[in-house]
Amino acid sequence: MPTIVALLLFSTAITATEDETRFNPSHQGSYLGVRIKETGNGFRVDEVLAGGAADRTGIEEGDIIVRVENWRFNQGISLTDHLRKLKPEPTIIQVLRDGSELDLQANLDPLLVRDAKEINRIISRNKLFKKGLSKMETDGLPLEERLTKAVHENTNRESTYEEMNRIIDLFKLSHTAIITPWVSKNLFGGGEHFHLGAYFQLVEVNGQQRYFIRSMMHGSPARDAGLLIGDEIISVNETDFNKSPRKTIAGYEDHRKIYITQVDRNETITIDFRRTKGGPVKSVKMIVNISLTGPDSARKSIRNIPIGEGNSIGYIHLWDFMSRETASILKNALKKELQNSKA
């Protein structure tokens, strides 16, 4: 019986670890590097992008793509949709050229290569990056090659974004980073905005990477659970935070790396932390059941801090840029809750 119990526990541990990896998948989707147009007998290649998978494969302008592995053009699924679901592995692409069918062996690029090229396009058009772009080319590889190389040399999403952000940090522009998909959706975009509301800064201490809470949103699960700014985060769900698949970069502040933890809605999270240097490791649980945006947190942060003799200091934490909504929150707070504050 002890042997059976041990095996069952080991099996459960593996399952839990594998479950965590869903937050940091290997490359999903493939990129061919062509501009296409649908025709009656396939997808005609109107342009082959230099250096892309199609270019390396030998696909030419005017070719008509009729098959990619088990996909055919007449199945009612577009080529783009098929590639988006296809793993970036060696595959066979069949094209029509001059009335003949050709089977070409292709090594598809990860879909993130497309994003790398788009990031390069955006940066290359911005004057803020002009000096840095020239220096990159002088020192070696241009930006696009550096970014696409980062995609090819890393096997999962988070390590790819880490490397791409290391490259972007070479421009030495504060608050400039490539935001990961989860952060973009749940903190800034149109997602449900269910998150812990705690931001962790990476600090190098005696050659070790350690993570400390740099800021917390008001009304967040992390703050409500009793965590404090300055707490050192040791692990999330019993996985070392430095190795956790949940760890994702949320931005750079003057070259300081800021991270956040990926979570699912209504999920229960266990965080191990240390509050004092050399102190005991404590554990806290929290449920991700609060939808929280920057404006929500700003409203909840408004307070007056007494400083004696009937005076007080007004406090409000503005989380995002001065949008109309944020400006309105500040204006209303100054007229109402903070109107009698001395500072």
Instruction: Tell which of 178, 200, 221 closes a domain.
Output: 178
CATH of the domain at 40: 2.30.42.10
Tell me the pTM.
0.84
Asked if the structure places residue 307 within a domain, the reply is yes
Instruction: Tell which of 178, 193, 220 closes a domain.
Output: 178
Query: What is the per-residue pLDDT across 82-119, written as a single tens digit (0 to 9) for each?
Result: 999 999 999 999 999 998 999 999 999 999 999 999 99
- What's the Rg (C-alpha) of the chain? 25
- Could you tell me if residue 41 is left (phi over 0), alpha (psi between -120 and 50 degrees) or otherwise beta? alpha
Asked if the structure places residue 90 within a domain, the reply is yes
The number of domains in the chain is 4
In degrees and rounded to multiples of 5, residue 7 shows phi and psi of -65, -40
Taking residue 19's Cβ as centre, other Cβ atoms within 10 Å add up to 11
Asked if the structure places residue 8 within a domain, the reply is no
Asked if the structure places residue 277 within a domain, the reply is yes
Q: Are residues 191 and 174 in the same domain?
A: no
Instruction: Tell which of 178, 197, 220 closes a domain.
Output: 178
Asked if the structure places residue 331 within a domain, the reply is yes
What is the domain range of residue 262?
A: 183-287
Tell me the pLDDT band of 253, cut-offs 50, 70 and 90.
confident
Tell me the pLDDT band of 249, cut-offs 50, 70 and 90.
very high
Residue with tokens 């292709």: 106
Asked if the structure places residue 72 within a domain, the reply is yes
